[in-house]
């Protein structure tokens, strides 16, 4: 399909102190990122994880990199092994690394070297409740979050769950980077609206790069 916005240059939108949206930053790499997602999922399939409280998450997840975010009976953890396949998570593809590197630099974080990439797949209705990314040992490093496919409403708050929320639509190719003062800010995704996207059909994918060391 002809994408009238394919040549649109990326632009930046400040979100909070230490947090910025790099609009369309990943558009040029989107096709290869998506191809890699499908390849990775052949090795470590998407699965709906069950929280320690017994709730099956609506978002389907997998990981790549040296460590992957997962759940077990006791809590949330980063594991070098995919509990479903009992094999290491697949390695992080070069195009993932390069994008994360360029995005973190563009956002002003110089030395971000992620060892983990969580891959989220949203089908219509899937959501991610308000949460903090706080299972990483290294909170000095930012989070780099890449949106692909269908648009979704991202909520970004503050250090307290009750802090006021900013709601922004994240679209295909948008990258959000948050760190420093906003590293532990609450955030989430509202239920995905059904639709069709030329690159991902009825899904939204999200890549979040983290440094867990
Ligand atoms: C996350 O918080 O892990 C993902 C956010 C998103 O899907 O944009
Ligand atoms: Fe998160």
Spatial distance between the Cα atoms of 13 and 99, rounded to a whole number of angstroms: 18
Q: What is the mean pLDDT of each successive set of 10 residues along the chain, which is 213 residues long? A: 66 97 98 98 98 95 98 92 98 98 97 97 98 93 98 98 98 98 98 98 98 94
* Annotated binding residue 208: yes
Check residue 3 and give its pLDDT.
Answer: 60
Check residue 8 and give its pLDDT.
Answer: 72
Ligand 1: centre distance to CA 4 (Å): 27
Check residue 9 and give its pLDDT.
Answer: 87
3-state secondary structure of 109: coil
Is 45 part of any domain?
yes
Dihedral (CA of 137, 206, 153, 5) sign: positive
What does the DSSP 8-state code read for residue 152? Answer: E
| Ligand 1 atom nearest to 206, measured from its CA | 7
Ligand 1: centre distance to CA 61 (Å): 11
Q: Is 63 in the pocket of ligand 1 (CB under 6 A)?
A: no
The boundaries of the domain holding residue 36 are 11-210
Check residue 72 and give its pLDDT.
Answer: 86
Radius of gyration of the chain (CA): 16
Check residue 69 and give its pLDDT.
Answer: 97
Is 97 part of any domain?
yes
Classify residue 146 by burial, with Cβ atoms within 10 Å: 0-12, 13-18, 19+: buried
Is 4 part of any domain?
no
Check residue 1 and give its pLDDT.
Answer: 53
Ligand 1: centre distance to CA 40 (Å): 19
Check residue 4 and give its pLDDT.
Answer: 60
Is 5 part of any domain?
no
* CATH number of the CATH domain containing 201: 2.60.120.590
CB atoms inside a 10 Å sphere around CB 118 = 23
Is 160 part of any domain?
yes
Tell me the pTM. Answer: 0.96
Is 150 part of any domain?
yes
- Domain count for the chain: 1
């Amino acid at each position: 399909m002809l994408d009238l916005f394919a040549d649109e240059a990326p632009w930046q939108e400040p979100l909070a102190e230490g947090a910025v949206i790099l609009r369309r930053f990943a558009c040029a790499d989107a096709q290869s990122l998506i191809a890699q997602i499908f390849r990775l999922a052949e090795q470590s399939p998407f699965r709906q994880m069950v929280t320690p409280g017994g709730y099956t998450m609506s978002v389907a997840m997998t990981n790549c990199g040296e460590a992957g975010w997962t759940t077990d009976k006791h809590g949330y953890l980063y594991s070098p092994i995919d509990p479903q396949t009992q094999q290491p998570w697949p390695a992080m593809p070069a195009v993932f690394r390069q994008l994360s590197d360029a995005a973190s630099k563009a956002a002003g974080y110089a030395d971000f070297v992620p060892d983990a990439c969580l891959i989220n797949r949203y089908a219509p209705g899937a959501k991610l409740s308000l949460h903090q990314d706080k299972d990483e040992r290294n909170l000095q490093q930012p989070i780099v979050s890449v949106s692909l496919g269908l648009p979704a409403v991202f909520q970004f708050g503050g250090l307290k769950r009750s802090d006021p929320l900013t709601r922004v639509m994240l679209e295909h190719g948008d990258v959000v980077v948050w760190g420093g003062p906003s590293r532990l800010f609450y955030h989430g995704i509202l239920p995905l609206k059904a639709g069709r996207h030329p690159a991902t059909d009825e899904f939204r994918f999200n890549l979040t790069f983290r440094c867990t060391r």
